[in-house]
Amino acid sequence: MNLFVSDWNALSESARSALLQRPALADDAALREAVAALIARVRDDGEAALRELTVRFDGCELEDFRVSPEAFERARREVSEPLRAAIFAAKARIERFHAAGMTAPYAMDTAPGVRCERVLRPIRRVGLYVPAGSAPLPSTALMLGVPAALAGCPEVILCTPPRADGTVDPTVLVAAEACGITRVFRLGGVQAIAAMAQGAGAVPRCDKLFGPGNGYVTEAKRQVSAAPGGPAIDMPAGPSEVLVIADAEADAEFVAADLLSQAEHGPDSQAILLSDSMALLDAVAVQIRAQAAGLPRAAILARSLDNLRLIRTRDIAQAIEISNAYAPEHLILSVREPRRWLDAVTSAGSIFLGDYAPEALGDYCSGTNHVLPTYGAARAWSGVSVASFQKAISVQEVSAEGLRAIGPDAVTLARAERLEAHAQAVSRRLARIGGAP
């Protein structure tokens, strides 16, 4: 467990860079080759490969990967009423938030007789991946299923790993069904990504893939998206991470709990605390030891807490600068008047303001999305939204009057670029209607 406090301003540039180094992604040559081989197996052998790989990685033999209507019915009975109510309450908040932020089509006349529009169309078929490695993630089914439904995607496919007995966790099924998703397949890992990317057996080929996963899943998404004709993917993703900025008055118990809540995701998760208060940093270290001792995922925490960083900064402004450079997936501002600092934040997947906004609320039920860019991708990428499931298409409608108005500009620009065929596509029309070339 790494509970040593580093003083940012006492470090060299190279030491600072090393301190903020994320856990190494599993992207070595051996992993890339292994993933490529698995994708090729699914491409070449289809459903037979899926069966063999499911036995190898999930320990169960399946003839049919589809989740049956009877399995959905059993899931409804098995999930307790309080849990079911929490799933539907979370879905309602996610739905309200994402509906409010939906992009609207628009149209305008950019010149007399020139009508330009931007129309929205849902992606035809999307594939959602819901992990279930160390724990099932029904929340991910909600985070992906709700915006897909709001976008109006005609076909939504969901893959999630089977348990050893061949069944799927019932909470995942209840969450999927709450979003109107009934085409669910008992497939996990690289084979699930390969099946949705290429089509295999009953799993159809999808146009875009969504969802988090381990290093193998992440690498599989990268490879299939880079293949000619391959699907798009939601975003680059790596291990989950949180960065907390706390001042002297922050609650050490809460801060430690936030750091631990992220660290328990997996051994390659990272948690960072930046504070201008040495007393707060020391108090958090004490709390981490005390709280970690009572948590059940001890084996994971024992490894992920090696990635923990406790860093003293000159002030909160410097902490914000460091955070912007790091670009965390989750950023918690446990400071007084946190909204005052919001405009200074330029790169983060999701921001949590104040002592009573734990990152866990965003994971489950506040309404925002928890499928977020990680590993520094938040410098340029955004989290999943309804727009992630849509295409924006531009439209132009031009009358003879409009062609006369703007056609000469197009001819001039085309000839400046030495593209005479472009120029003539306009000038020939201008000649027909008596306009100046």
CATH number of the CATH domain containing 128: 3.40.50.1980
Last residue of a domain, one of 185, 204, 234: 234
Domain extent at residue 298: 238-382
**Which is the catalytic residue, given 177, 241, 329, 359?**
329
Q: Answer whether residue 97 is part of any domain.
A: no
Last residue of a domain, one of 183, 210, 234: 234
Is residue 344 located within the same domain as residue 207? no
In which order are the strands placed within the sheet that holds 232-233? Answer: 184-186, 155-160, 125-129, 208-210, 232-233
Distance CA 168, CA 65 (A): 10
Whose CA is closest to 404, among 424, 361, 434, 377?
434
Is residue 170 located within the same domain as residue 211? yes
Q: Answer whether residue 24 is part of any domain.
A: no
**Cα–Cα distance list, 140 to 50, 162, 172, 218, 271 (Å):** 23, 16, 8, 16, 21
Q: Answer whether residue 102 is part of any domain.
A: no
CATH number of the CATH domain containing 404: 1.20.5.1300
Distance CA 162, CA 177 (A): 17
Q: Answer whether residue 308 is part of any domain.
A: yes
Q: Determine whether the annotation assigns residue 191 to a binding site.
A: yes
Q: Answer whether residue 387 is part of any domain.
A: no
Q: Answer whether residue 3 is part of any domain.
A: no
Q: Answer whether residue 115 is part of any domain.
A: no
CB 209 within 8 A of CB 129: yes
Residues 280, 282, 286, 292, CA torsion sign: positive
Is residue 350 located within the same domain as residue 377? yes
Is residue 188 located within the same domain as residue 279? no
Distance CA 430, CA 406 (A): 10
**Which is the catalytic residue, given 177, 241, 330, 359?**
330
Tokens of residue 1, six digits: 């467990």
pLDDT at res. 54? 96
Is residue 340 located within the same domain as residue 405? no
Q: Answer whether residue 37 is part of any domain.
A: yes
Number of structural domains in the chain? 3
* DSSP assignment string, 328-394: -SEEEEESSSTHHHHTT----SEEEESTT--HHHHHHTSSS------TTGGGT-----GGGGEEEEE
pTM: 0.93
Distance CA 398, CA 344 (A): 44
Q: Determine whether the annotation assigns residue 268 to a binding site.
A: no
Q: Determine whether the annotation assigns residue 2 to a binding site.
A: no
Distance CA 143, CA 238 (A): 18
Is residue 252 located within the same domain as residue 377? yes
Q: Determine whether the annotation assigns residue 369 to a binding site.
A: no
Q: Determine whether the annotation assigns residue 265 to a binding site.
A: yes
Is residue 253 located within the same domain as residue 218? no
* Strand spans (E) along 169-240: 184-186, 208-210, 232-233
Is residue 338 located within the same domain as residue 425? no
Q: Determine whether the annotation assigns residue 370 to a binding site.
A: no
Q: In Å, how far from its chain's centre is CA 140?
A: 10
Is residue 351 located within the same domain as residue 249? yes
Residue 317, classed as helix, strand or coil, is helix
Is residue 409 located within the same domain as residue 349? no
pLDDT at res. 27? 56
Last residue of a domain, one of 207, 234, 261: 234
Q: Determine whether the annotation assigns residue 307 to a binding site.
A: no
Give exposure, 413-426, as e/b (b: 16+ Cβ within 10 Å). Answer: ebeeeeeeeebeeb
152: left (phi over 0), alpha (psi -120 to 50) or beta: left
Is residue 67 located within the same domain as residue 161? yes
Reply yes or no on whether 330 is catalytic. yes
Reply yes or no on whether 329 is catalytic. yes
Q: Which residue is listed with tokens 């009572």?
A: 294
Tokens of residue 202, six digits: 């009953």
Distance CA 12, CA 307 (A): 20
Q: Determine whether the annotation assigns residue 80 to a binding site.
A: no
Reading the chain (437 residues) residue by residue, the pLDDT tens digits are 778 999 999 999 999 999 999 887 655 788 899 999 999 999 999 999 999 999 999 999 999 999 999 999 999 999 999 999 999 999 999 999 999 999 999 999 999 999 999 999 999 999 999 998 667 899 999 999 999 999 999 999 999 999 999 999 999 999 999 999 999 999 999 999 999 999 999 999 999 999 998 889 989 999 999 999 999 999 987 788 999 999 999 999 999 999 999 999 888 889 999 999 999 999 999 999 999 998 998 889 988 898 999 999 999 999 999 999 999 999 999 999 999 999 999 999 999 999 999 999 999 999 999 999 998 999 999 999 999 999 999 999 999 999 999 999 999 999 999 999 999 999 999 999 986 76
Is residue 168 located within the same domain as residue 152? yes
